[in-house]
A = this chain, B = another copy of it.
């Protein structure tokens, strides 16, 4: 990727990690955030070259930064993305490429591509990386090395923009890049990400015994790690993908009911078959990684 000026809008955990990685790669990176502290923190550490606060008092600075940026990364919450872009798209540089980090796609992409200026292009993407903490202060571009980067173009996107998103993923250091439709994305994410969070939350909420902490093993800690959840972000993600998530919850409920029924019936052969199937499927997901006990 040739040197580009990036403007990161929303300098949180992901936006901050993008800024870190892109600055290291020699790009000029600027940022816009509602939190002055986020901008100051990133400027002090050289993670961004310039930045300003989106507080209504710095619109001139915002216009300057967006007008200079060949690429804009929207690190905003799902519900904020389209409204922000609709209000600010007049400030974008002609020919700019816009992408995002949003974990749901159908709810966002059609809307944005429906109103966006014809001389800029929005190529949707979703870096599947995160932590149970937020803010640029916790940013860490090492998050990307083991992770998947998803690109979800529509018929309105150009091959050049898809190619650019792939280059971006490579610059950020993602292990794997996939291109899929917004529909496929939301169905898959309903299973591998949203359902897992719904399960972790429900598992944590199912029992209120305060002594459990004395007894837990690693399996319980692993299953509930993501029960620490950003309520605002995740309620937006869940509601924006309600149909897919509900279908995945119901498919999971059916699998759990199947296990419970075999247990009640004393069906040893049936229970073992479930265990063999889950073992065989899970083995496909193994990968060598530091700290991976199964490697």
Chain A residues in the interface with B (C-beta under 8 A): 128-133, 146-148, 150, 176, 178, 188-189, 191-193, 195-232, 234-235, 238-239, 242, 245-246, 248-256, 258-260, 263-264, 266, 268, 271-272, 274-279, 281-285, 290-291, 293-294
Complex-state Cα separation, A133 to B234, whole angstroms: 35
Closest Cβ neighbor of A273 among chain B residues: B231
Interface-central residue, A132, A195, A235, by most chain B CB under 10 Å: A235
Within 8 Å CB of A268, what residues of B? 235, 239
Complex-state Cα separation, A59 to B138, whole angstroms: 62
Within 8 Å CB of A227, what residues of B? 278-279, 281-282
Within 8 Å CB of A234, what residues of B? 275
Within 8 Å CB of A279, what residues of B? 227-229, 231
Contact in complex: A220, B193 (CB < 8 Å): yes
Closest Cβ neighbor of A287 among chain B residues: B221
Within 8 Å CB of A294, what residues of B? 131-133, 225, 228
Instruction: Specify which of B219, B248, B251 is in contact with A197 (CB 8 Å cutoff).
Output: B219
What are 29 contact pairs spanning A and B, CB under 8 A?
A131-B293, A146-B218, A148-B216, A189-B215, A191-B209, A192-B220, A195-B206, A196-B219, A198-B256, A198-B259, A198-B260, A199-B199, A199-B223, A199-B256, A201-B259, A202-B255, A205-B281, A206-B248, A210-B284, A213-B285, A219-B226, A223-B223, A228-B278, A228-B279, A229-B275, A231-B272, A231-B279, A239-B266, A242-B264
Within 8 Å CB of A211, what residues of B? 188
Within 8 Å CB of A278, what residues of B? 200-202, 204-205, 224, 227-229
Within 8 Å CB of A189, what residues of B? 215
Closest Cβ neighbor of A249 among chain B residues: B260
Complex-state Cα separation, A104 to B109, whole angstroms: 51
Complex-state Cα separation, A15 to B193, whole angstroms: 37
A169 to chain B, nearest CB (A): 13
Closest Cβ neighbor of A195 among chain B residues: B203
Closest Cβ neighbor of A204 among chain B residues: B278
A263 to chain B, nearest CB (A): 6
